[in-house]
Amino acid sequence: MAPTLIRIGMTATYAALALLVMLAGRIASDAIFRSLGPGHKPNLALSLRHSGLYIGLAIAMTAALQGSASGFVPGVVEILRDGAVIVVAILVAQKLSDWWVVPGLDNNQAVADGNTAVALTEFGSSVATGMIASASFGGGEGSWLTAVVFFALGQLALIGCFWAQERLLPGSFVAEVARGREGAGVAVAGVLIALGVILRASIAGPFLGWRASLGAFAVYALGGILFLMAFQEVFTYFFVKRRHVEDQYHNVGTSSVVACGQIAVALVVTALL
């Protein structure tokens, strides 16, 4: 009985520490992405931004909660240390995505004005970043250097693959997001989360040396993304009755089905690779 109670107490403590890290991330995010003026009122867009941040941090913290420290106090120290690094990494990535996912747009102003399409892209970016962070900072045998390098590579791959898909498809989801088309925002979020699933699987695993690990990351990431793009076309053809891509700009229902289909395909692909 006593070991069970101790285990429950440790679980509750670690869960509380994870919530503390999430709160610290929210406070830091609010300091970096300031609301505009005292008269600014909360809206759905702002709620979506915060929701994505919470989920992204929670996914990333799963790596810290599975640390290798022995003992209660060392475990607490390790969670707080890893949590601080994860918060910084996700906030830096969030700022970079603001510059590159919808370039030329003031995301703060857009979110303050209630542009839910922009907030949806931030939601997708935060969730995808959390997946990349959970694989980069947990479970391997590398150092902090390897964790940071693979996290950076994952972020670059996320942005690069997103823009490759943006260029390959007709029209422009990014332009429609800037105009506030919610369907386009859902579509972008779906693409980012699906890519995050693929990249998380590409990074996960023990560090086998720079050459072997970088090669494996490149092969699995490229192969997974190619499979994702191919099978999402199959999914769209059979499950969405081959709707035109432009339908997703205006139809939230269509874009939601396609986005969930992309994430589902990504999960299947990562299980097979």
Share of the chain above pLDDT 90, in %: 8
DSSP 163-221: HHHHHHSSS-HHHHHHTT-HHHHHHHHHHHHHHHHHHHHHH-S----HHHHHHHHHHHH
Encoding tokens for residue 270?
């990562």
Q: Mean pLDDT, the chain, as a whole number?
A: 80
146 close to 206: Cβ distance less than 8 angstroms? no
Residue 94 half-sphere exposure, CB side, CA atoms within 13 Å? 31
**Higher pLDDT residue, 10 or 39?**
10
Strands (E), the chain: none
- Looking at residue 244, its pLDDT comes to 53
Phi/psi at 227 (5° precision): -60, -40
Mark residue 241 as left, alpha or beta (left: phi above 0; alpha: psi -120 to 50; beta: remaining): left
Q: Is 202 exposed, middle or buried (0-12, 13-18, 19+ CB in 10 A)?
A: buried
As a whole number of angstroms, the distance between CA 152 and CA 88 comes to 13
For range 21-49, the mean pLDDT: 75
Nearest Cα to Cα of residue 44 among 119, 101, 107, 149: 119
For range 205-211, the mean pLDDT: 79
- Looking at residue 123, its pLDDT comes to 92
- Looking at residue 41, its pLDDT comes to 67
**Is residue 152 pLDDT above 70, yes or no?**
yes
**Is residue 197 pLDDT above 90, yes or no?**
yes
63 close to 151: Cβ distance less than 8 angstroms? no
Reported as a single tens digit per residue, the pLDDT across 69-125 is 566 777 778 788 888 888 888 888 777 777 777 777 778 888 888 889 888 998 999
